């Protein structure tokens, strides 16, 4: 019986040590997208700059891969009114630039999905911006 208890105690210690040495991953909720300045209208298009921030330390996240974008007028009660969004500038200091072609002036929701280095899950977020045509 003593040998069994000793073995169980040793096994418990090994398991606790192994679990404590696993890498800690941030959660996708630890990130947020922020609108940088006001959108800049340019002939029926708006240039929108967005910063990806690691929320716990408020540091910008450079080198994320933003692979999914969309825009809609959900904030104005028209979620089926959509607009094309495309990347227009390389990321600099965690700021990413997009061109949105709104069909009408109003408040638009811009939805983004990104992969962050070292983060196993996709980071998703939405910002709202007042766009003009």
CATH number, domain with residue 38:
2.60.40.3340
Residue 11 lies in a domain: no
pLDDT score of 5 more than 90: no
Residue 76 lies in a domain: yes
9 confidence band (pLDDT: 50, 70, 90): low
> By residue range, what is the domain housing residue 100?
26-131
pLDDT for the residue 97: 97
Residue 15 lies in a domain: no
- SS3 of the chain: the string is CHHHHHHHHHHHHHHHHHHHCCCCCCCHHHEEEEEEEEEEECCCCEEEEEEEEECCCCEECCCCEEEEEEEEEHHHCEEEEEECEEEEEEEECCEEEEEECCCCCEEEEEEEEEECCCCCCCEEEEEEEEECC
Residue 75 lies in a domain: yes
Query: What total number of domains does the chain contain?
Result: 1
d(CA 16, CA 85): 48
The answer to whether the beta carbons of residues 45 and 108 sit under 8 Å apart is: no
Residue 14 lies in a domain: no
Residue 30 lies in a domain: yes
d(CA 109, CA 73): 6
- Could you report the per-residue pLDDT of 42-91, keeping only the tens digit for each? 999 999 999 999 999 999 999 999 999 999 999 999 999 999 999 998 78
Residue 20 lies in a domain: no
Residue 1 lies in a domain: no
Instruction: Round the average pLDDT of the chain to a whole number and report it.
Output: 86
């Amino acid at each position: 019986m003593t040998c069994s208890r000793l073995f169980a105690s040793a096994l418990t210690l090994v398991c606790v040590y192994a679990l404590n040495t696993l890498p800690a991953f941030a959660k996708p909720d630890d990130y947020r997208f922020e609108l940088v300045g006001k959108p800049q209208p340019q002939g029926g298009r708006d240039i929108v700059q967005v910063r990806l921030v690691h929320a716990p330390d408020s540091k910008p996240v450079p080198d994320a891969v933003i692979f999914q974008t969309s825009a809609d007028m959900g904030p104005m009660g028209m979620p089926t009114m959509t607009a094309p969004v495309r990347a227009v500038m390389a990321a600099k200091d965690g700021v990413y630039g997009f061109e949105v072609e709104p069909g009408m002036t109003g408040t638009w929701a811009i939805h983004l999905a990104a992969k962050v280095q070292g983060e196993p899950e996709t980071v998703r977020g939405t910002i709202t911006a007042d766009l003009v045509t």
